[in-house]
Amino acid sequence: MKRAYERLLDYVVVYTTSDEKSQTVPSAEREFDLAHKLVAEMKEIGIADAHVDDKCYVYGTLPATQGMEDKPVIGFIAHMDTAPDFCGQGVKPVLHENYDGGDVVLGKSGRTLSVKDFPHLKNYVGRTLITTDGTTLLGADDKAGIAEIMTAMECIVADKIPHGKICIGFTPDEEIGEGADAFDVAHFGADYAYTVDGGDLGELEYENFNAAGAKLIIDGHSVHPGSAKNKMLNAILLAQEFQNLLPVHENPSATDGYEGFYHPDSITGSVDHVVVDYIIRDHNMEKFEQKKRFFLQCADFLNAKYGKKLFTVDLKDSYYNMKEKILPENAHLIDNAVRAMEEAGVTPTIVPIRGGTDGARLSFMGLPCPNLCTGGLNYHGRYEYACVESLESCVEILKNIAALYAE
């Protein structure tokens, strides 16, 4: 029987980076490579109806133990794509056994996973770490979640652990905010579910950001620099002027916990034309709406200042805080997750998600879906890593949840 970390090592080398510029579903055809691999493995471990649809969503069910068909149907969900923020092609994972508490050299890249920059490394002395070679991300987000779900299901079958019906789902395109777009909740068939897409061991999340994306389009006036006085309107400088109107401390590097932010995620353009992609986040719905209004007011203010429409905003909501779909009606999802962690020897830490998961969208689609830890850290970059022992604990948590819903 494969251990979770062995599966993770196998999955991360499959190139599945999603494409935020694509108009197709999935956003990248390569995501099917992992989907087909997972379907084959699911069938091998006893999930006979495993299949992938034409949009790259993987579904499968583990039938209930005889006599337990009336138990609640629970689901586990993870996503197959990796973030386009950093290179996800040619991943070469590296095992570091019996970690000594010092800096970790990342292959021959000249990069170091340093204790100074990442002090939480000290929590893993004596354990086995999986890192990158410094040239790519790792992809534990969320292939660690996939590995844990697959391993837990194999254990449940092999050890004949009594359980109700269990539904498994693996999604594409979560990293570009589209993972739940074509998820078929009715076909999935669960009453409740958990996404396995969190971070450090013990983290349990049922509050996430309310989220919006804002495309700021700026039309400048390009004139030869030698004769530009009182004529040129440099769209690059106009973008800077807009950014300077936003609260200086409401950005990701100055916020944590429940604090929201404005984040210019990318910028392209020239003197004549600039496009800035922002994301707007806040856990509190009232503050979220205030942030969106203020963003639009900044554009209106500058258009009024210059006496012409230089600034255009395309603002769209992405997802909402799932808390209202979890508490109080479905508090058992949190209670059982806490108990499952404690039975696995893990201390639960309930924290707000400073981001989003498929579960946030799915909760508003009728499938209440809090988020469980995976044991991975430093997602979306070359310093991403996971702990082997944490992955094994996450497998135990999933097994325990399945058993608790069969009581």
> Using CA atoms, how far apart are residues 203 and 94, in angstroms rounded to an integer?
25
Is 10 tagged catalytic? no
- Strand order in 74-79's β-sheet? 51-52, 58-62, 166-171, 74-79, 192-196, 371-372, 203-205, 349-350
- Closest alpha carbon to 36 in 11, 18, 71: 11
Residue 72, Cβ density class (10 Å: 0-12 exposed, 13-18 middle, ≥19 buried):
middle
The neighbouring-strand residues paired with 82 are 17
Point out the catalytic residue in the list 41, 174, 358, 384.
Answer: 174
From residue 286, give the alpha-carbon distance in Å to each of 25, 183, 227, 282, 374.
33, 29, 48, 9, 31
Point out the catalytic residue in the list 81, 175, 250, 282.
Answer: 81
Query: CB-side exposure of 205: number of CA atoms within 13 Å?
Result: 30
> Strands (DSSP E) along 9-162, which ranges?
51-52, 58-62, 74-79, 94-96, 104-106, 111-113, 129-131
> Using CA atoms, how far apart are residues 22 and 331, in angstroms rounded to an integer?
38
In this structure, what token pair is assigned to residue 124?
């893993």
Which helix (DSSP H) or strand (DSSP E) does residue 264 occupy? Answer: strand 261-269
In this structure, what token pair is assigned to residue 50?
């495993």
Cβ–Cβ < 8 Å for 140, 374:
yes
From residue 1, give the alpha-carbon distance in Å to each of 27, 154, 226, 307.
33, 8, 72, 69
In sequence order, which ranges of 127-272 are alpha helices (DSSP H)?
A: 140-158, 185-188, 235-245
Helix, strand, coil shares of the chain, percent, nearest 5, are 35, 25, 45
Is 250 tagged catalytic? no
Unique residue bearing structure tokens 């068939």: 189
**How do beta strands 210-219 and 203-205 pair?**
unpaired
CB atoms near residue 73 (< 10 Å): 18
The residues annotated as belonging to the active site are 81, 174
